[in-house]
Structure 1
Amino acid sequence: MAVRTAFAHSIVEHEDMGIVMSDGCRLSARVWMPVDAGENPVPAVLEYIPYRKRDGTLPRDELMHPYVAGYGYACVRVDMRGNGDSEGLMDDEYTALELADACAVIGWLAAQPWCSGSVGMMGKSWGGFNCLQTAALRPPALRAVISVCSTTDRFADDIHFKGGCLLNENLGWGAVMLSYSSRPADPVLRADWRADWLKRLEAQPFLAPRWAGHQARDGYWKHGSICEDWAAVQVPVLSIGGWADNYMNTVGHLLEHQQSPVQGIIGPWVHQYPHTAVPGPAIGFLQLAVRWWDRWLKGIANGAENDPALRAYMLHSAPPDASAAHRAGHWLTEAEWPSSRVQRRVMPLSAGGVLGGEGGSLAVKVKTPQHLGLHTGEFFPMGLNAEMPGDQAADDALSVCFDTAPLDAALDLLGAARLSLRLTCDQPFAFVVARLCDVAPDGKSVRICHGMLNLRHRDSMEAPIPVPVGAAFGASFDLDLTGYRLVPGHRLRLALSTTYWPFVWPSPKAATLTLLSGALDLPVHRGSDAEWTPPEPEAAAPWKHRVLRQGKAVRRIETDLITGRVALLVEDDGGTVENLTHGLITGETMAERWRIHPDDPTQAHAEIRWTQSLARGAWSVRTEAEAEMRASGDSLTLTARLRAWEGEALVFDRNFAEQVRRDHI
């Protein structure tokens, strides 16, 4: 990535600009703007998240915000209330208060003498979510947004549920936020840091049980889901996703339904901004962002509104690699979405495990071991620590598979495949997982995409009903959006399972499905060559820091030969780093253990521990957040513990314990 140091505008940085809400709560902002913005006001670009601008996102902030500011913008990075250096307390994600604060910040920015009155909002993940949700509230000064790795439907496409199935990332994210939000403000910026920290610790929620308790698409999830009213967002939206992430569906949903100007970009990336993301190729995201802001915030007639509706990187067949640094492929463009270059091809599920063929009646039993899914990877992989899907062959061997014959010609897919099944089930709770895989002649298997359905949600996400035990019923669901080219000689495989550990929490009892018939509806693209050459990635100068202790990562599968239990262990030690600008020393470690018995879903057990440390001179603090989940046939048991130390003295210790009824999972 090229580092740019010369810009049209010299900039000045404000490390702690206060923005006071109507209730007196002061939010802390880090701001970069042209030195002459007071005389020549500029548009503002807001990023508004809970991830700590002083240390958490600082490395990426310093690559992005000074860069955009150098092109004539005031870039404003705000810590949400209850996080980082801001005052107040945070109760949940995407609350009405959080969004009201966002609107207030936008209004405050527009009224500043250094702002032209025009504001844009950008963000990734949480920041991508809340910029869409804020846009739906229509604050007058907000003129455009850039949303990266986000969702339009909080129940269908987020870390809590997928197809009505309870994702284990629900527990994972509950542990993350318990850890992330329990750290204090920097004493250099907040003289009241200690009193504020103790209040923050006391009020800290363990959110995983609350989320797990909403097992249908009720009002809790509808709040903040912009798909409830597509007309609400009236500003232009640039939506960006990655095939290695699990938020790629948003791009297609916005392109298909949003009524304001929308463009989408989907690359090969994990859950990162696309100028730094793996797998490569990375692209010049910041140049594209400036082009977007120039058009919609400054009114420059640069033609950005005429760029393709969709720019997508079509992956090409390659060996499986859970730590791929680069993926072969090519960029294509679509002037409209859905694309007229995509035709639907229905492939029946046929006897003998054939995908295609004559179709007809089947009598295929699907009852897979509980540990199937260990090679699935993370919901949102962040980097190269084997977080992406690995070789699916081991999981395929445990699944019920339907394969095509080896392909005579390349097969290009662009869009969402849809699976329709007719089946019976022997339990009132069950789910089905479908993986679409690219199988090479040597048997190695790459996951192209996946999808899943809690069969109690087969008719409705809002009103789930029991599975009719022993009676035939139909179920249809979409797999995730994909862009993929299978090369000649490879086979397309549909792998079906009733388990997916540790991606999905298992059903109360091992279920047996009997497939009576089925068909896969594929989005076949007529083929394309390279149709877009994105700019090469650029950024501002990286942050000045010193590594005091190197980090390391571990990811391994273990089998206990005595008990028969299988476990996935994930350890990520981020090391210890000193910021050479303001002297803060930070460290972070994480450990996860996901255990299950292949024959017994009641032995599912998850344990997560996060440790955070902050220090400067004689001052030091540390927090430890632990979370655990087990289940019986009728309830989930979620526990957590949060501890905090000032120096060597324990200043806070709290246990959380809650049971959640298994109404639909």
Structure 2
Amino acid sequence: MAERSFTTIENQWITLRDGTRLAARIWMPDGAESDPVPAVFEFLPYRKRDGTSPRDESTYPVFAAAGIAGVRVDIRGSGESSGIIDGEYTELELANACELIAWIAAQPWSNGSVGMMGISWGGFNCLQVAALKPPALKAVISIASTVDRYNDDIHYKNGCHLSAQLSWAATMLGYQSRSPDPAIVGDDWRDMWLERLEQEPFFMEEWLKHQRRDDFWRHGSICEDFAGFDIPAIVIAGWADGYRNTPLLAVEGLGDKAKALIGPWVHKYPHFAWPKPRADFHGEAIAWWNHWLRGERNGAEAMPSVRAYILDAAKPAKRRDFDPGFWIAKHEWRQPEMQCFYVEQFGTLMEGMPIPHAPEHPVYLRSPLDTGTASGEWFTLKPDAEMAIDQRVDDAGSLTFQTAPLVEDHDYLGRPVVTLTLRCDAETVNLCARLVDIHPDGTATRVSFGVLNLAHRDGNATPEPLIKGQQVRVTMTLDACGYRFRKGHRIRLSLSTAYWPMVLPPPEDPGLTIDIASIGLGLPQLGAHELIEVKQPDNPDPLPKYIEHAPGLTKRQVVRDLSAGVTRYEIHEDTGLSEHPGTGLSTRQSREESWSIAPDDPLSMTGISTWTCDMQRPGWFVRTVATSSISCTAKDWVVSASVVAYEGETEIFRKIFEERRIARDLM
């Protein structure tokens, strides 16, 4: 099909029924009013004008050239949209999305069929909106998202408190404090900015008030009613990202309505993600939209249920540009058969089931509280030390069990399961389990991991404290993986009671006693599959080039102060200063984040994250500095935040979110 010419509408105002004016950027195929076209809608708080413009400009022009309009809208209180954001995936946000879909479908250039897509926030809300069944929404593509907001997002994981919760709260405070662009909104920009600064919320206060899986988290979790979800969805994720469970969970819950694609990637669109190999997202998406939004018979609905990249003995590195492996397809996804392992009396991991009624072999485990500095970020954006690094440093603080060198390759796809019996002298303790590939040279690659607050061992809605000293049987389901352990490698199971800074510690650090004779490890076998090729993008460098005025910089380090007995994990991220050549707007964001802990004192934990966001044109400069912090007592989480805004060199606004103490709930 010949490429269609198109026009980019830099800003289109859409006024909602409540009077809120939202800002949209639209890529419109020429001649659409006489030959109506389908549309793809994306709804985000990340600013179409500058925040997501590189990735938008890598995709929506390609859609428009294929005769599909792109409609990228800023959520209220973001970018140039009026109003104030009221949280993540709120009822108001989803209602606004449904209203926008109806608006798009009613336009004279629309054929009445709308698709919705996005990554992360946009991946979340497109699934949540689809569950509401707005009539014009016919299909979605969800990337790096979740079907379970409690257990597979940046807040909590099986009752454990993720440090990413503070990082994300600080990020959103920084992002939402940025000014609208005067070139779009005119002289009202300053009043809009001040209103936004005055009224924007500090999200973490609300998140910390819901430490269990209650109605707050059930809202927007489509796993609550898979049966009621009837819109076809492609669900995409990367093994290097925190959202790796979602594609398989979606297929298991939605059946033929969902198609899974899992690559080696961090938290990026597949056509420019790292590590390579990439995937031709544009071609896949256009075929999907043409089938569901145009009725084109192109076989998109018949693609395999699951396509996954099986990592082949990947190694950690300073930067992972390419991960070895191979693509497989399963036309029908079924729960995999598990290959079982147990721990024999000398600590070797052996194939087979744990021996029934074996004599108890108790081993006490109390990891240093700074065990976990090799974990990387839960939420990864770059293929560097944000990804898990060599695990030997964390294994030093862990209880480890490994096989003899393998006599043949072992291929797995799915979620590993660990079972064990333990006891503890506190009401709760955290347990982390890691599946590790030990290479012949000793390099240790993290393949999968899981964490569990043991008070949540039987569920996240109504946790139960441990009875001190009483033995309990525990089952842990680890994150999904697709991996080949090569002949000559060893499979290692590593257990620790700390995974800092990714997971924040509970108020006590008693350690626990594990009966190693009870340990069982189930690994999901790859089973029957088809080797396939997944097309690479035609354009190997699809992101547009902006004018660089100052380079970016990334630095990440662990500092162990041996004299003070404190470990610090420090992050410096600077995007550099870049100018959009079409708008003349230059932007820069920098993040300074530091976590500290004494390895023997869980109440010493602190975290602080600061975002500095700059916007400028000749003669105009604005800056916001947003800071968020967390510490703890035995009974409370202690959080605070602040936002300071500058116009030029003059401070024009300062807001302090006073210190809040929020009771810890078995956490």
Same fold per superposition (TM over 0.5)? yes
Post-superposition CA distance 1:40-95 (Å, at most 9, x none)? 11001001110000000111110011111110011001000110011110111000
2:177 matches 1:182:
yes
Distance 2:61 2:562 in 1: 55
For residues 229 and 586 of structure 1, do their structure 2 counterparts lie closer, same or farther at Cα, with a shift above 3 Å needed?
same
For structure 1, the residue ranges without an aligned partner over 5 or more in a row are 1-5
Amino acid in structure 2 at the alignment position of 1:240: I
CA contact (8 A) 1:8 1:71 kept: yes
CA contact (8 A) 2:272 2:542 kept: no
Amino acid in structure 2 at the alignment position of 1:9: R
2:83 matches 1:88:
yes
2:229 matches 1:233:
yes
- In the alignment, what sits opposite 1:584? 585
Post-superposition CA distance 1:511-541 (Å, at most 9, x none)? 2111122211111224767323324343896
Q: How many residues align?
A: 658
Distance 1:575 1:539 in 2: 23
| Structure 1 residue corresponding to 2:332, chosen from 318, 327, 336 | 336
- In the alignment, what sits opposite 1:3? none
- In the alignment, what sits opposite 1:644? 645
How many angstroms does 1:185 deviate by?
0.8
- In the alignment, what sits opposite 2:617? 616
Distance 1:71 1:164 in 2: 46
Where in structure 2 are the equivalents of 1:472-511 lying within 5 Å? 472-511=471-510
2:423 matches 1:428:
no
CA contact (8 A) 1:375 1:390 kept: yes
- In the alignment, what sits opposite 1:264? 260
Distance 2:544 2:67 in 1: 21
How many angstroms does 1:116 deviate by?
0.3
Amino acid in structure 1 at the alignment position of 2:304: P
How many angstroms does 1:38 deviate by?
1.0
CA contact (8 A) 2:329 2:530 kept: no
Q: TM-score, normalised by structure 2?
A: 0.97
How many angstroms does 1:404 deviate by?
1.0
| Structure 1 residue corresponding to 2:106, chosen from 92, 95, 111 | 111
For residues 557 and 544 of structure 1, do their structure 2 counterparts lie closer, same or farther at Cα, with a shift above 3 Å needed?
closer
Post-superposition CA distance 1:476-501 (Å, at most 9, x none)? 12100110001011100110011000
- In the alignment, what sits opposite 1:307? 303
Amino acid in structure 2 at the alignment position of 1:604: M
2:194 matches 1:198:
yes
For 1:189, what is the secondary structure of its paired residue?
helix
For 1:464, what is the secondary structure of its paired residue?
coil
Post-superposition CA distance 1:195-236 (Å, at most 9, x none)? 111110011111112212211100000011111111222110
CA contact (8 A) 2:279 2:534 kept: no
How many angstroms does 1:579 deviate by?
1.2
2:563 matches 1:568:
no
Distance 2:318 2:304 in 1: 31
Amino acid in structure 1 at the alignment position of 2:338: R
For residues 431 and 296 of structure 1, do their structure 2 counterparts lie closer, same or farther at Cα, with a shift above 3 Å needed?
same
For 2:67, what is the secondary structure of its paired residue?
coil
How many angstroms does 1:349 deviate by?
2.9
| Structure 1 residue corresponding to 2:291, chosen from 295, 303, 310 | 295
- In the alignment, what sits opposite 2:348? 354
For residues 270 and 542 of structure 1, do their structure 2 counterparts lie closer, same or farther at Cα, with a shift above 3 Å needed?
closer
2:154 matches 1:152:
no
- In the alignment, what sits opposite 1:317? 313
Post-superposition CA distance 1:119-165 (Å, at most 9, x none)? 00000000000000000000000000000000001001000001110
2:326 matches 1:345:
no
Post-superposition CA distance 1:415-468 (Å, at most 9, x none)? 101111111011112111000000012221000010111101111210001111
Where in structure 2 are the equivalents of 1:492-571 lying within 5 Å? 492-516=491-515, 517-526=518-527, 530-538=531-539, 542-543=543-544, 545-571=546-572
Where in structure 2 are the equivalents of 1:38-49 lying within 5 Å? 38-49=33-44
Post-superposition CA distance 1:546-589 (Å, at most 9, x none)? 10111111111111132011111110111101111111011111
Deviates more, 1:310-319 or 1:351-360: 351-360
Amino acid in structure 2 at the alignment position of 1:491: R
Distance 2:572 2:542 in 1: 30
| Structure 1 residue corresponding to 2:116, chosen from 116, 121, 129 | 121
Distance 1:525 1:330 in 2: 12
Amino acid in structure 2 at the alignment position of 1:421: L
Amino acid in structure 2 at the alignment position of 1:29: A
CA contact (8 A) 2:266 2:383 kept: no
How many angstroms does 1:322 deviate by?
4.9
CA contact (8 A) 1:237 1:260 kept: no
Q: Identity of paired residues, percent?
A: 43
CA contact (8 A) 2:158 2:453 kept: yes
Distance 1:542 1:179 in 2: 24
Amino acid in structure 1 at the alignment position of 2:330: E
- In the alignment, what sits opposite 2:131? 136
Where in structure 2 are the equivalents of 1:351-500 lying within 5 Å? 351-356=345-350, 359=355, 360=358, 361-500=360-499
Amino acid in structure 1 at the alignment position of 2:614: S
For structure 2, the residue ranges without an aligned partner over 5 or more in a row are none
How many angstroms does 1:7 deviate by?
5.7
Distance 1:141 1:387 in 2: 39
Amino acid in structure 2 at the alignment position of 1:70: A
CA contact (8 A) 2:277 2:536 kept: no
Amino acid in structure 1 at the alignment position of 2:656: N
RMSD after superposition? 1.4
- In the alignment, what sits opposite 1:166? 161
- In the alignment, what sits opposite 1:601? 602
CA contact (8 A) 1:287 1:538 kept: no
For 1:198, what is the secondary structure of its paired residue?
helix
How many angstroms does 1:351 deviate by?
2.5
